[in-house]
Structure 1
Amino acid sequence: MENRLSGQKGVFFSQRIKGHKLLPAELPEEKFWLLAEISPIRSEKVLYALRDYLVLGYERKEVCARYDVSSSYFSIALGRISHVNRVVYSLAPYYADPGNDFFDRPY
């Protein structure tokens, strides 16, 4: 059976874009907050722990202690925001295509 999202038989979309988790100090702060805005993460303390790790480069153990976040939940949240980053990266070419009239549309 063909999957509507992937266009490939038996392959789910989420399986096609698996990749590495984001690394410490890998993101500029503005990009981090944009990803956070569209991520499913709502906990302020988890977001600040992720920010300190992904933007400022603090160690995982240190940010978990500072914001009282369990290391296991931090790993889950890191996986979620990394997934959002991969999806956005996969979408970017559709918006960067010169033939795309996305920004010329009236809505």
Structure 2
Amino acid sequence: MEWLSASTGVPFKLPDLSGQNLKFEGARLLVAGGKPAAQLLYRDAENEIFAICFLQSDPVEGKTTLAESMRNDIGLVSWQQGKASYVVVGPSADPNLERIAEAVSTSI
């Protein structure tokens, strides 16, 4: 976590999503828009993958509202908080995606 936080410039806590029936599987450093981005991977009991991605962005006061969108079979819930932009990615058919994103936004 320390290395990923230092690499992205975004301090974070690893969200415990066991209450959402998700198990942490690992983390990666990616590039998005030419910036280092973090990806936290989780898996549910049906073997579906959920990801939390974030990168440093222009600071905002507080937290923006969650914005949900769908692209084919992928659901995305995004927001900005402090000096970071976040997105939770999962199956578009999952009715709990926004609830998962809300849990992440309050614990990350």
Answer whether TM exceeds 0.5 for this pair.
no
Using structure 2 for the length normalisation, give the TM-score. 0.26
Higher relative contact order (CA 8 A, sep 6+): 1
**Of Structure 1 and Structure 2, which has the larger fraction of its residues in helix?**
1
Structure showing the higher strand proportion among its residues? 2
